[in-house]
Chain A
């Protein structure tokens, strides 16, 4: 977290760019990725696969390109963001490859090799990362497209709901668009569009939303007429839950909105109102929807539902428990016994093979990513950037918490993907865009004021002193 930053604009010229740190950390991430891939191959098949050389060159090239683009277009960016992502993506690729091999070993011919596909997605992700940095030179320009992005976000979110189930439904969740062999989860992109919109909208309206009407039990409640936006976000979340049966996205969007509302208004009452709305929504959802009930019951006692809905979670827990402190070693466990280990339950595979230490390390890398994002938010000068960075960073945090909590039995399962780690193109590519935005804002945050003068806001304009 940030130290006491009194006035960010006081940052002196000559602030180090820290690009060397980033390069060193990226090299470390690449080293770990390549070593982990080699260990998997050697443990499972006893030999390095021929594609190993191509893979090493490819993954190195990806991060070299990303680094050079950051160097050129965001030279003051936070040096930890990209390496954290590189480490997570590399580990994800390794675990997916490891699960590919497991399927091969068990003679499961139905499953295809997913690691090369994921590498293509990662490449596309880096391409979009580069595109965002090149095109969006100043994050504040995004606020101009806030309402366009809101519309786009809602369309993306609603698209699977209105499309026929044959195109949009997988395993009961109607959150997909499947076209020509590709599966896209538009919700992942909608998340970013909506965060941008929330940031722009809340910066605009925060003064109004911060107005208090009366004080109840030490809590300054907002005026009744200002409840509109939060109710709208709540309804949107409920609609997602009803029409797409997607508990995860519903929870994610509402959580992000409430926290951004709180940050924008500095009114804790919004958190309580959000919590109350969530509790109400959850109760209603539990009463009405069978699949929500099933999720909750399975969460409370997975062992009881072992032969059905609880099987996946129990296998995850068995894997984690068997992994213990140090894990079975990459390639040494049976992570393939957990159904859909590559996407939803990839953390279980990490915990089984890398043990408690490995899994906690991954959680800490996420924590670094999130806290660097929040630090960017603290330091950046403009309100929109602040709120946007906070929203994006919290989006990662909230998603990681909900997913890992689900996989480890702390929370009911929601079906979100683990950012950067899990198999899934939409999630990976979308999160690259998200991180590109964070990198862009962090560049603005750390860039010395002299080089990148902050826009003069009306409130900050020097008051003319009229000498009588």
Chain B
């Protein structure tokens, strides 16, 4: 019986080898796909075992993980709910991460390479591993004023420190409470998410950075910059007809509501900007030429590929200009000119900072769980589109806009404000977008702001300038 016994022994060896091969296939070859399968909640659940880092604004945690008694140890909470949702995004068991929760996930979850040594140490000391904190540049007063100003509207506000690029406010409405989708009960999360996505417009979208919009007359600041760089001064008299006949076209370019800019059909450049004269800027664009206008826009950062603050910012652009007629329309910010609200704030900040554009940033510093600083953001120059002289001229003109022109609603008592309004036509039958961008104090600017009300249907001066004023007022109040 020994011969068959040996064969049985070998067969058993073969069977067990089959088992071992199969286990290898599952645990090595198919490991990644099984681990990453959306129905496998293990990996995601694992992240709930670790204390995820906080997102901090001015010493207050706006997103933090609190221990619970449940199966998943830590619950992600957002104490101020909708206020910071456009910035934090959510950390959801079902829907994953968005915005800062997504972009900064490595640091927050503790997976970042800079936390590696600490993770190893945790392994040996038995200390519960934890994620790092993300400290933001936001000013709570500015953020609150921005969100309050936008309440009931669809829109966005960006406020910057023009000297550093630090983002002081990043608001977008409508908003939502990220806590609704960050719980531990998948059914509840799904129901809440249905409630959020059922709304129109989508509350999850940050309209300051994730979308770009027609800018209208804001673009006249860039055309003005091109003119000043070309040797114009604010006092240079430019043609300002009642109705501009577009070259090689039967179309005409009227002024807002068909009004007249100046009885003499010409006016100084500063006056043209102050009242936002369409025909003057249409003609000015044609006179400067496409290259001058486009080059200046690109110098300010349009037509670029977008940026990371570290949230992704979609690109802004001038669009195609096929003819002089198109150039005239582009020069008043119509046609295909589109900007994000952040880009608009950046244009204002550049003028405010003597023509030096600082890279905008949202994160002040990253901290390890032991509160040691992992990384601190150093302000850096992004671009220098205009000279200090041009910036000075633009400031003078933009002060005029707020003092006696279309932006009067942005005036602040005792503080000189510079700005520009924009009322962008979207398409026939759809309400206009209402813009305002500006900065204050005009002499030594501390804050630059851009406000957009999407399809506000009013004018930038009437609807958006007051919001910008309130945001700036909140900032100065906070500073005493």
B415 CB-CB contact with A under 8 Å? no
Determine if B27 and A397 form an interchain contact, defined as CB atoms under 8 angstroms apart. Answer: no
Q: Which 4 A-B pairs have the closest CB atoms?
A: A321-B34, A318-B40, A356-B27, A106-B71
Residues of A within 8 A of B312 (CB): none
Q: Can you give 24 A-B contacts (C-beta < 8 A)?
A: A1-B9, A106-B70, A106-B71, A263-B4, A264-B1, A320-B27, A321-B35, A322-B40, A322-B43, A324-B35, A325-B28, A334-B42, A351-B27, A356-B27, A371-B12, A374-B12, A378-B5, A383-B1, A390-B5, A397-B15, A401-B16, A401-B19, A405-B22, A410-B19
Residues of B within 8 A of A387 (CB): 1
Residues of A within 8 A of B45 (CB): 334
With A323-B27, A363-B20 as known contacts, state yes or no: A378 contacts B6, CB within 8 Å. Answer: yes
Determine if B8 and A409 form an interchain contact, defined as CB atoms under 8 angstroms apart. Answer: no
Cβ of B285 to closest chain A Cβ, rounded Å? 60
With an 8 Å Cβ cutoff, the count of chain A residues facing the other chain is 54
Query: A371 to B18, alpha carbons, bound, how many Å?
Result: 16
Closest to A386 in B: B1
Query: A107 to B68, alpha carbons, bound, how many Å?
Result: 12
Cβ of A411 to closest chain B Cβ, rounded Å? 9
Determine if A409 and B39 form an interchain contact, defined as CB atoms under 8 angstroms apart. Answer: no
Residues of A within 8 A of B26 (CB): 317, 320-321, 351, 408-409
With an 8 Å Cβ cutoff, the count of chain B residues facing the other chain is 39
Determine if B23 and A359 form an interchain contact, defined as CB atoms under 8 angstroms apart. Answer: yes
Determine if A377 and B5 form an interchain contact, defined as CB atoms under 8 angstroms apart. Answer: yes
Determine if A410 and B18 form an interchain contact, defined as CB atoms under 8 angstroms apart. Answer: yes
With A320-B23, A334-B42, A390-B8 as known contacts, state yes or no: A356 contacts B28, CB within 8 Å. Answer: yes
Q: Which residues of A contact B (CB under 8 A)?
A: 1, 5, 42, 105-107, 259, 262-264, 266, 268, 306, 314, 317-325, 333-334, 337, 351, 355-356, 359-360, 363-364, 366-367, 370-371, 374-375, 377-378, 383, 386-387, 390, 394, 397, 400-401, 404-405, 408-410
Closest to A202 in B: B1
Determine if B5 and A337 form an interchain contact, defined as CB atoms under 8 angstroms apart. Answer: no
Query: A102 to B34, alpha carbons, bound, how many Å?
Result: 22
Cβ of B258 to closest chain A Cβ, rounded Å? 64
With A318-B39, A359-B27 already in contact, 7 other A-B pairs whose C-beta atoms are closer than 8 Å = A105-B71, A107-B70, A262-B8, A317-B26, A320-B23, A322-B34, A356-B28
Determine if A263 and B33 form an interchain contact, defined as CB atoms under 8 angstroms apart. Answer: no
Cβ of B457 to closest chain A Cβ, rounded Å? 49
Residues of A within 8 A of B34 (CB): 317-318, 320-322
Tell me which of B12, B16, B40 contacts A394 (CB under 8 A).
B12
Closest to A315 in B: B40
Residues of A within 8 A of B31 (CB): 321-322, 324-325
Cβ of B29 to closest chain A Cβ, rounded Å? 10
Determine if A324 and B27 form an interchain contact, defined as CB atoms under 8 angstroms apart. Answer: yes
Determine if B42 and A263 form an interchain contact, defined as CB atoms under 8 angstroms apart. Answer: no
Determine if B5 and A374 form an interchain contact, defined as CB atoms under 8 angstroms apart. Answer: yes
Residues of A within 8 A of B480 (CB): none
Closest to B10 in A: A1
Residues of B within 8 A of A408 (CB): 19, 22-23, 26
Residues of A within 8 A of B18 (CB): 401, 405, 410
Residues of B within 8 A of A400 (CB): 16, 19
Query: A397 to B16, alpha carbons, bound, how many Å?
Result: 8
Tell me which of B4, B12, B32 contacts A262 (CB under 8 A).
B4
Residues of B within 8 A of A325 (CB): 27-28, 31
Residues of B within 8 A of A375 (CB): 9
Residues of A within 8 A of B12 (CB): 367, 370-371, 374, 394, 397
Determine if B4 and A266 form an interchain contact, defined as CB atoms under 8 angstroms apart. Answer: yes
Closest to A383 in B: B1
Residues of A within 8 A of B20 (CB): 360, 363
Residues of B within 8 A of A356 (CB): 23-24, 27-28
B2 CB-CB contact with A under 8 Å? yes
CB under 8 Å from chain A, chain B span 26-75: 26-28, 30-35, 37, 39-43, 45-46, 69-71
With A356-B28, A367-B16 as known contacts, state yes or no: A321 contacts B4, CB within 8 Å. Answer: no
Closest to B36 in A: A321
Query: A363 to B12, alpha carbons, bound, how many Å?
Result: 12
B251 CB-CB contact with A under 8 Å? no
Residues of B within 8 A of A377 (CB): 5
Cβ of B18 to closest chain A Cβ, rounded Å? 7
Determine if A355 and B27 form an interchain contact, defined as CB atoms under 8 angstroms apart. Answer: yes
B3 CB-CB contact with A under 8 Å? yes
Query: A248 to B39, alpha carbons, bound, how many Å?
Result: 29
